[in-house]
Each structure stands twice: as structure tokens, then as C-alpha cells.
Amino acid sequence: MKVGIVGGDSSYINIVDEILDKLIKDSGVYLFTMFSAGIKGSIHTEPSLAQQYSALRGIPCVRKEYTSLDKLIQGICKEVDYLIILNDKSQPIKRLFMSYKQTGKHGSIIEI
């Protein structure tokens, strides 16, 4: 299972930890890979919260970069099985949420 985290920064690691503990208990899945993605050339691409969390917990992390926001959203929707959205109510987060919702996959939304 690939788990993605969108939004937020390292101050949200404890919240992510709680969500993933609940996911493990509810699903019985103990093995997963973090998925990190960004837009090439963006100043907000490294290190992502997914990368920070995976380094802290010793979880494998896959990193992909895309050329545009549209391709980033498509990539996340295709690659991620469970998405944690730290929702700052920005337009890109809203677009991603709506696209991901259409996939029928599961996730968690935390309002920040």
C-alpha cells in the first residue's frame, strides 16, 4: 500500500503518526510505502512531510516529480492508495481533493 501526505510541514508529524496508527489497526496492513511527489523546480518539493516521516519511522519512501500541477494531481491519484490531506484550503489542495475523491480510494482530511 502506498500512503501519500499532502500539505503541512514537520509540525504535523504527530498527527500523521496517529492517522497511520489508526490505519494499521483498522486495515491490518503493517507494510506500506510512503509516496512523495512534487513539481520539478518548485521550492516546496524537498523534503516533503512524507519523506520526513519515512526517515523518522524507517519506512520506505518513493519520490516522483512531475512537470505541472495537473500531472502531479494525476500522478498522486494513480499512485496513492491512501491519502492524508492536511487541508489549508488552497486551490491546489481543493483540486487534488476533488480528483482523489473521484477515484473511490480512501484517506483522511485534517483541517489546518
DSSP 52-63: HHHHHHT--EEE
pLDDT digits (tens, 9 = 90+) for 47-63: 899 999 999 999 999 99
Is domain 2-111 given the CATH code 3.40.50 in the classification?
yes
For the chain, the structural domain boundaries read 2-111
What pLDDT was estimated at residue 45?
58
* The model scores a pTM over 0.85: yes
The span from the CA of 1 to the CA of 63, in Å, is 15
Angle between helices 49-57 and 13-27 (to 10 degrees): 70
Residue 46: pLDDT band with limits 50, 70, 90: low
- Share the mean pLDDT of the chain: 93
Q: How do 106-111 and 82-87 pair as beta strands?
A: parallel
